Amino acid sequence: MHTKPLTLYQRGMTRWHKPPPNPHLNRNKLHLWLINLEISKVTNGFLKVLSPDEKARFSRLVGPHRRAAFAVGRASLRLILAKYLELPPEEIRFGYQKMGKPYIANSFREPEIQFNLSHCGPWMILGICYGINLGIDIERIRPVNKKWALENLFSAEERDYIDRFSKDDCDRAFIAHWTKKEAAAKAAGIGLAGVNIKKGSKNAPAWVVPDDDILWLSEEPFCYLSFESPAGYITIAALRTVEKPAANFFEFSLDTYPEFEPSKNFNLSFGL
C-alpha cells in the first residue's frame, strides 16, 4: 500500500459555458458538450430532425422516458454537429465502424471532423475535434462488482494498480480506470480487452496524465482529459495524440435554438 494518496482524476468542478452561435474548430481544439437527456422543453421538432432509421428505433423503444431520452440525445447530436458542418441537422448521415463507433458519412469539405459520445443516467457527453481519433466515456461513481472485469479485461499491471487503493477508494479507482479503458478503446476502434493502460514516459508533459499514467496501444500513446462533472460522474476524453488539446466546455440548451418552441403536446407515441 502506498503511503501517499494516488490521484484518480483531475479534481475541481468543470464549468460548462454557453456555446457561441458558430463554434469553430482547429487541430488544437477539443469541444466537449454536456446534454441533459431529461431536458424539460422536449418538442416535436426533435423528432422531425431524426432520420428514418432513428425514427424507427424510437418507435420500438418501450416507455416514455426512454423514448424522450433517445429523441433528445439524437436530435441534440444533430443540432450541435449541424453548426460545425453548416448543414441542416436532418441531412447529416452517420456510418458505423466495425466496433459500432459512429462517424459522419456525408461527402463534403470537412471530412476530418471527428466526434464521439457517451451517456449515463440523465447525462450525455459529446466530444468534437478536428483530425484526431477521439473516444468519450462517462460513468457514475458507485459500488461495483469488479471481479469478472478484473480477471478478464484487466492486465496484471492494471490489477496491481487497482489493488494499491484503500477499500474506500477502490470502487472510485476502478471506475476511473474502466472509463479510461472505454474511452481509449473507442478512440482506437478496438475491443475493451485490447486496451492495456501502462506507465507512461517520465518525460511526458504534466498535462498529459496528472497521475503519470498514459494509454499505450501497440506502443502508440494516447493522452486523455479527465474530470468529475456533472457531480458524481467521471468523464474521460481519450485522444490519439500527445499534443496538448485546448478544451472548451459547452452546455447544450434550447435557448440557442429558437426554432424549437416548447410543445405542450409532445407525442411520445411518435404521432407527428
CATH number, domain of 245, equals 3.90.470.20
Q: Is residue 81 part of a domain?
A: yes
Give pTM, 2 decimals. 0.85
C-alpha cell at 132: 484526431
Please report, for the chain, how many H helices and E strands are present, in that order. Answer: 6, 11
> What confidence score (pLDDT) does residue 253 get?
87
Q: How much is the pLDDT for 12? A: 46
Distance CA 158, CA 52 (A): 43
**Enclosing domain of residue 170:** 29-256
- In 3D, which of 120, 123, 118, 149 has the Cα closest to residue 134? 118
Whether residue 126 is contained in a domain is answered as yes
**pLDDT digit string (tens) for the chain, length 272 residues:** 332 333 333 444 678 999 998 898 888 899 999 999 988 666 677 888 999 999 999 999 988 888 889 999 999 999 999 999 988 999 999 998 888 889 999 866 555 889 999 999 999 999 999 988 999 999 999 999 999 999 998 888 888 889 989 888 999 999 998 998 899 889 888 888 777 776 554 444 333 333 444 455 545 667 888 888 888 999 999 988 877 788 999 999 887 776 665 544 444 433 33
Do the Cβ atoms of 222 and 184 come closer than 8 Å? yes
What is the domain count for the chain? 1
Q: How far is CA 87 from CA 1, 6, 26, 90, 154, in A?
A: 54, 46, 19, 8, 42
Contacts of residue 120, defined as CB under 8 A and 6 or more positions apart, other chains included, come to 138, 139, 140, 233
In a domain, 6, yes or no: no
Q: Output the pLDDT for position 208.
A: 36
Decide if 215 is inside a domain.
yes
